[in-house]
Amino acid sequence: MCELLGLCFSKPIKPSISFIGFRKRGEINKHGWGIAFYPDSSVQVIKEPINAGASRLSNFLKDYDNMRSKIILAHVRHATVGSHLRKNTHPFQRELDGKEYVFAHNGTLKGYRKSLALGNFRPVGDTDSEHAFCYLLERIRKRGIRSWYEKDFAWLLSELRKINSYGYFNCLLSDGEHLFAYRGYDGKRELHFVSRVPPYGKVRLLDQDFEIDLGADKDQTKHGFVVATRPLTSEPWVPFSSGHLIVFKDGKMVFSDIIKKQ
């Protein structure tokens, strides 16, 4: 099963603790890994069609000081559709109206090609995931969204549920300002979030036997959310409900179709 990781904070952060724990999940999702972040209004996507734990590049990035961003999106892949090539490795990236969107998907879709018609955006690879991403971007283009409002979030939820009708579908999407996180209504794939607000304390990585002191960070004004397929740390993670969309911006929850904004 592929796994997803998303971060949205009030200030640029290093994803060190989350990426260290997430990278470990590459041992069972060994067909590829990728990470996307926004150094400025443009996106940097780094990915390889290999096991993240065996990658010298991912090992370097977990401590790389220049990988700082308010929004970070990552994926480890267990392939069900598409060959084990870079073109099929998540996250996928496209430009629309001067914004660079990125997308990653956990699940498998079937029988979708005729109903999820493509337009200006075309897949480079041969995955169901990239097809769904291109479909979403075409729908966003046709709706003329340049700035997102609550009515657009509700509209996006309906589009995500349409895609979801063709199989298992958890996904993360970002335009560099928002982090959109959706858990499919089939209930077969998990998705969780945790809020991080100061004062920070120590947390334990669940897949590795050591603690990290978040309080050692000199900037105790940062706050935000981490989204992951399964909890990465000993913090109080909250499960998404089935068919649930949450949108984050600047470290805040700005839309949820179920729970109160935080």
Q: Is 40 exposed, middle or buried (0-12, 13-18, 19+ CB in 10 A)?
A: exposed
Question: For the segment 31-76, what is each residue's pLDDT rounded down to a tens digit?
Answer: 889 999 999 999 999 999 988 878 888 888 877 888 899 999 999 8
Q: What is the distance, to the nearest Å, from the Cα of residue 128 to the centroid of all Cα atoms in its chain?
A: 16
Q: Is the pLDDT of residue 204 over 90?
A: no
| Active site members | 2
Structure confidence at residue 26 (pLDDT): 46
Structure confidence at residue 207 (pLDDT): 62
Helix (H, G, I), strand (E, B) or coil at 143: helix
Q: Is the pLDDT of residue 260 over 70?
A: no
Residue 225 is classified by DSSP as E
Instruction: State which fold the 3-256 domain adopts.
Output: Glutamine Phosphoribosylpyrophosphate, subunit 1, domain 1 (3.60.20)
Q: Position 233: which residue type?
A: T
Q: Which of 236, 234, 199, 232 is nearest to 218 (CA)?
A: 199
Residue 232 neighbours by CB under 8 Å, 6+ apart: 5, 17, 18, 21, 22, 205, 206, 207, 226
**Rounded distance, CA 216 to CA 201, Å?**
8
Q: Is the pLDDT of residue 215 over 60?
A: no
78, 105 Cβ separation under 8 angstroms = no
pTM for the full predicted model: 0.92
**Rounded distance, CA 40 to CA 63, Å?**
20
Q: Is the pLDDT of residue 190 over 70?
A: yes
171, 182 Cβ separation under 8 angstroms = yes
Q: Which of 203, 195, 225, 183 is nearest to 72 (CA)?
A: 225
**Rounded distance, CA 92 to CA 111, Å?**
21
Residue 7 neighbours by CB under 8 Å, 6+ apart: 13, 15, 18, 71, 72, 73, 179, 224, 225, 226, 227
Lowest mean pLDDT among 11-15, 161-165, 186-190, 248-252: 186-190
pLDDT above 90 coverage of the chain, percent: 64
Mean pLDDT of 134-159: 97
Helix (H, G, I), strand (E, B) or coil at 11: strand
Structure confidence at residue 41 (pLDDT): 95
